[in-house]
Amino acid sequence: MSGFRPKVISLNKKPGQTFGFYLRSEHGEEGHLIRCLEMGGPAELAGLKDGDRLLRVNGTFVDEMPHGEVVDMVTSSGTSVIFYVLDEESYKQAKAQGVDLANPQKTPAENNKVGAAVPKAKLCYLVNSRSGFGFSLSSTEGNPGMFIKLVVPGSVAHNAGLSNDDRLVELNGENIEGLSHSQVVEKMKKAGSSLMFLVVDAKTDEYYKNKSKTIGVWLASIKHLPHKPRVADLSKGPTGFGFSLSYEQNKDGHFIKDIEINSPAQSSGLKEMDRLVAVNGKEVDSWTHDQVVDLIRQSGQSCCFLVMDKFTDKMYKLGNVPPLLFLDTLNDPSLPPSYSEALYLPTHAQPSTPEPERREELKPKLCRMQKSSGSFGFHLNGIEGKDGHFLSEVVKDKAAYVAGIKDGDILVEINGINVEKRSHDEVVEMIHLSGNSLEMLVATKSVYNQLKANGVNITSQLLGECPEVQVQSTETNRDERHKDNSRPETPTEAARERTSSSSSEDSLDEKL
């Protein structure tokens, strides 16, 4: 493992309530241990696991501090605290390898100032706009290779991560190093509006040539890709995880369906029709439905999923990118900081307002709405030649207004899909395809600009407790009540061992 990147977990409790865990120092065990998690408590719901090691409290490194001082730091934090934690296995590996946990992205060699980071190729995803991709492809006689030139600032190519003099290695998952200039251009034309490039800059190219290594997608960073798989940590509730697993041959994969309201599945961020890629780090694409179900059940009370929505899935398949490459990048120190990490970046001046109030302000809004009178009651606007969309002309008392949307709010996600770099037409189509129900993640211009200035990736994970504003018509509420009342009782564990709700031989569903 090239690095040990801790999880950043924000805990919130009500006055008089506990965070729902014990912090212990145990004989024969190193570090400050998370123990005795209260089921359904803030710590368990936030994703803490038994045996996790606490590394930082509100940004302060505590691994080498006396246990009593660390306890005092947690208790004096009030009703909210931010932890950096490392799971038990990773913590012990890091200690055995001599990793400096105060700077876990470095390898032991780097800690001793012997080695250096290995350069990586880049995966860049481009979606054509009305003004084109914004780059030229160049080749020079006597100098093998196709090179990116004349990258236009602010263009599709620039925003995708391409730089002048990058060498093109693969196009849509196919190696093009032996093709002529005209052949590569022809392939780009036939590919249509979406392109996935694997490129290397001059330094990376020279590094792998000196080592006589073939450059492929397995050596690439995905940090420039606009859509990424998601990691979902689930802790089983009284009636299970709260979703069904469906295998559909015509869609070639295992899919999350029938997510129950307020279930562990919903709390973990799973979405309807997410494709399940890996369970506890094991890729399951080639596994049968029964094998995946057995693996999940063998996980016991907790399970970790890697999932992809349909847009991410389509993008990854275009470039033949293995989804597990995403897990490798979780240890990549060049990735942007998380929301909680960015709040403690030392380069930014602290405002005069108290820290908890500042964190509360720097959050987007998740607004769910049900169409009434034929519209949601807002206009979608964009600026020619620039990424991003904002909302205007919000009609008072209509769905968008009641959901909390204000004129000038910046649109970030639609139904869990990031749309910041999508074209105006694509976003309009996504709204139309949503039908009568729509979920939008938005942020005021001020919040949006502050988060972006800190390098924060804006997602619904920034929301914390009570993240959404929701509005539905009376008719919809009646439908939801009817649906809840008509749901059969949750079967016992024995009855759940083989429950199929499939109406087709091409589909298998399993309640979990």
pLDDT band at 181, cuts 50/70/90?
Answer: confident
**393 to 96, 203, 340, 378: CA distances (angstroms):** 60, 50, 33, 5
State the DSSP code for 37: P
Q: Which of 39, 27, 31, 26 is nearest to 6 (CA)?
A: 31
Q: Which domains does the chain have, with CATH numbers?
A: 7-97 (2.30.42.10), 121-221 (2.30.42.10), 230-331 (2.30.42.10), 365-459 (2.30.42.10)
Residue 509 reports pLDDT greater than 70:
no
CB 375 within 8 A of CB 398: yes
Q: Which two tokens mark 211? A: 């080592």
Quick one: CA dihedral 368, 371, 377, 379, positive or negative?
positive
Does the pLDDT value for residue 332 go beyond 80? no
Average pLDDT over residues 185-190: 89
Q: Is the pLDDT of residue 226 over 70?
A: yes
pLDDT of residue 386: 62
**Is 315 in contact with 227 (CB distance < 8 Å)?**
yes
pLDDT in tens, 341-363: 444 444 333 344 444 443 445 78
CB 176 within 8 A of CB 169: yes
pLDDT in tens, 393-437: 888 888 888 888 998 899 998 887 888 888 888 888 888 888 888
CA-based nearest residue to 411, from 380, 384, 432? 380
- 483-504 confidence digits (pLDDT tens): 233 333 333 333 333 333 333 3
* Mean of the per-residue pLDDT values of the chain: 76
Largest Cα span, the chain: 74
Distance CA(93)–CA(166), nearest Å, equals 37
DSSP letter string over 93-156? HHHHHT--TTSTTS-HHHHTT---PPP-EEEEEEE--TT----EEEEETTEEEEEEE-PPTTSH
Over 60: is that where the pLDDT of 75 sits?
yes
- Report whether 225 contacts 123 (CB < 8 A): yes
The rounded distance, in Å, linking the Cα atoms of 218 and 205 is 15
Q: Is the pLDDT of residue 198 over 90?
A: yes
Whole-structure pTM value: 0.49
